Amino acid sequence: MERASILARRYAEAYFSLAQEAADIPGWREQLAAVVEVLSDPAVSDALANPETNLAERVRQGLQLLDGVSPEAQNLARLLIERRRVGIAREILAHYDALADKASGVVRAEVITAIPVDDALEKRIRDSLSKQLGSAVQTTVRTDPSIIGGLVIRIGDRVIDDSLRTHLQQLQAALA
């Protein structure tokens, strides 16, 4: 795991721990998302990284843009600005979401199909995955005609590839 990802995970874990203590994981996520939205703006991130502006002024400018955000989220933003880590803000949010999912027992799955899927089929896929995994599943369905047919399901770092493209590639390899 690269250094930025490790740092993002640590920031997310610390922020998530505070959110758990406050018993408001969704509210703290909303505040974190607001920080990420502001800090991810290219003009803002460039201004906050400008070495010609002194650090105190950069912090002041960054916090001014976050007026109305919770003090805890502002403290996180201050740390990111002071330590020149504004670039990992989006990754911190991704790690926070993963921690929130784990705490609530939700599993996220990406389902790739060759053709568009209607709501009823998406529900059947979600229900089947929930039954197999023994927990609630949130699905994101994406269409990719290059898989020809079947499904590719990604759950965390696990991939279930039952696509026609993969079956044809395996058949081709077996015949070669």
pLDDT < 50 stretches in the chain: none
CATH of domain 3-101: 1.10.520.20
What's the pLDDT at 18?
A: 96
Q: Is the whole-model pTM more than 0.95?
A: no
**Sequence ranges of the domains in the chain:** 3-101, 105-175
Complete DSSP assignment for the chain: --HHHHHHHHHHHHHHHHHHHHT-HHHHHHHHHHHHHHHTSHHHHHHHH-TTS-HHHHHHHHHHHTTTS-HHHHHHHHHHHHTT-GGGHHHHHHHHHHHHHHHHTEEEEEEEESS---HHHHHHHHHHHHHHHTSEEEEEEEE-GGG-SEEEEEETTEEEEEEHHHHHHHHHHHH-
